[in-house]
Amino acid sequence: MKKLRIGVIYGGRSSEHEVSLASAASVIANLDRSRYDPVPIRIDRDGRWTIADRPPTTIAASAVITKARQEPPRSTRTGREAYLVPHPGEETVLTIERNAGEATNGRENAYVAGLGLDVVFPVLHGPYGEDGTVQGLLELANVPYVGSGVLASAVGMDKAMMKVCFAARGLPIVKHLVAWRDEWAREPDAIASRVGAELRPPVFVKPANLGSSVGISKAGDRAALGRAIELAAQYDRKIVIEEAVPAAREIECSVVGNARPEASVPGEILPSREFYDYEAKYLEDSPTLVPAPLDEAETARVRQLAVEAFLAVEASGYARVDLLASRETGDIFVNEINTIPGFTTISMFPKLWEATGLPYPALLDRLVELAFERHAAKQALRTGRP
């Protein structure tokens, strides 16, 4: 059987760069070498693409993040320049090797080669990767790729538009409002008054387009609200302010599939801090309960809501849906969907499928199968008039 050449794209320009390195290291290490020939494609922080000489090997996000904080930023480019070709053809990626030592007329020689990929696995978290930008390039290249398409990726990255889709499908969501950075700069008192009138404190303040809980704060009064909005505004122009669920439990559920998605058993996060922020996710040992201690009806409800959230944004391939369950009322709310969730072996997405009966290597195989399934369905569509 011919091995599939699979391009694993990782890194990226977002603040979740280090998390992506850890996810990609785990994906590459667990791809079945009898079936796949992985090609590590790194996107540096400045947005440049490279075929990496060596793939990332550290699968613990905490170790990657700690190292990045201790060492000054530096270029990691040690491979061939790479350019995704945005048109259909056998050469998915062009690579360039430069030799300044053989300059002609003052110009360095460049050696260009093409590299064909059978399928692409984007392992990018946050803007410029998880938000539909890379997915659009892959659509133009007409290459099969793992995960959601442009629409679901973009909606899944934007917390405000995501909630619009959830509400349109009738899913339970927390009360919230949206503010803009420019609006805050002009009329901070008006926004604070609106929050006070429409939402019950405490509230969570979030950048609309970011993941891994970066830039998120909890605010219980006017002063804390101002600080929280100022922080969120450093990461995005659009800010989501939402009412906190009383005595909330953090429930997560993984979904896999295309037209007929299936949900895993739910899991529960026990944050080491007041809420599940970036530090608690990646640098501290927040306990997890897999499966979550829910009764039969609650488990069924969580799995149903996870699938409905997946369908609401027209996701495909895979996603992780985060929900909030109130200990006081028993209500369950859909909080967010992550179309490229963390993918280390200890991340919740694969852990939940492991508990459901689908181990990590088999999960990767399934996602590749779904990528080809979705691509074949799109190829069957007409692109012009009869």
User: What is the DSSP code string of 40-95?
Assistant: EEEE-TTS-EEE-SS------HHHHHHHHHHS-------SEEEEE-SS-SS--EEE
Specify the range with the lowest mean pLDDT, choosing from 134-148, 151-165, 211-225, 352-366.
211-225
Rounded Cα–Cα distance for residues 212 and 383 (Å)? 38
Rounded Cα–Cα distance for residues 10 and 18 (Å)? 9
- What percentage of the chain has pLDDT greater than the value 90? 71
pLDDT band per the 50, 70, 90 thresholds, residue 108: low
Tokens linked to 177 = 């409002």
- Contact yes or no for 248/190 (Cβ under 8 A): no
Q: Do domains 4-145 and 156-171+246-378 have the same CATH topology?
A: no
What local confidence, expressed as pLDDT, does residue 280 receive?
A: 47
- DSSP at 244: P
- DSSP at 2: P
**Average pLDDT, stretch 99-112?**
60
Specify the range with the lowest mean pLDDT, choosing from 135-144, 157-166, 203-212, 346-355.
203-212
- What percentage of the chain has pLDDT greater than the value 70? 86
**Average pLDDT, stretch 204-226?**
87
Q: Which residue has the higher pLDDT, 10 or 382?
A: 10
- Which residue in 168, 142, 140 sits closest to 155, CA to CA? 168
What local confidence, expressed as pLDDT, does residue 367 receive?
A: 98
Q: Above 50 in pLDDT, residue 331?
A: yes
pTM of the model: 0.89
pLDDT band per the 50, 70, 90 thresholds, residue 344: confident
Mean pLDDT across the chain, nearest whole number?
88
What local confidence, expressed as pLDDT, does residue 275 receive?
A: 53
**Average pLDDT, stretch 290-306?**
97
- DSSP at 145: B
- ω before 291 within 30° of 0 (cis)? yes
What local confidence, expressed as pLDDT, does residue 215 receive?
A: 85
pLDDT band per the 50, 70, 90 thresholds, residue 252: very high
Specify the range with the lowest mean pLDDT, choosing from 130-134, 192-196, 253-257, 345-349.
345-349
Strands 4-11 and 119-123: parallel
Q: Which CATH architecture has domain 156-171+246-378?
A: 2-Layer Sandwich (3.30)
- Contact yes or no for 45/241 (Cβ under 8 A): no
Give the residue carrying structure tokens 């559920």.
253
Q: Above 90 in pLDDT, residue 181?
A: yes
Question: Does domain 4-145 match CATH 3.30.70.260?
Answer: no
Give the sign of the dihedral formed by CA 175, CA 241, CA 219, CA 284: positive
Give Cβ neighbours of residue 209 (< 8 Å, ≥ 6 apart).
127, 131, 157, 158, 159, 235, 236, 238
Coil vs helix vs strand at 272: coil
Tokens linked to 85 = 């070709």
Tokens linked to 321 = 């849906």
Q: Above 90 in pLDDT, residue 262?
A: yes
Specify the range with the lowest mean pLDDT, choosing from 41-45, 206-210, 357-361.
206-210
Kind plus residue range of the DSSP H or E element containing 353:
helix 348-356
User: What CATH number does the domain located at 176-243 have?
Assistant: 3.30.1490.20
Q: Where do the structural domains in the chain lie, given as residue ranges?
A: 4-145, 156-171+246-378, 176-243
Tokens linked to 80 = 């061939």
**Average pLDDT, stretch 47-67?**
73
Phi-psi region of 330 (alpha: psi -120 to 50; beta: other; left: phi over 0): left
**Average pLDDT, stretch 361-373?**
98
**Average pLDDT, stretch 161-179?**
97
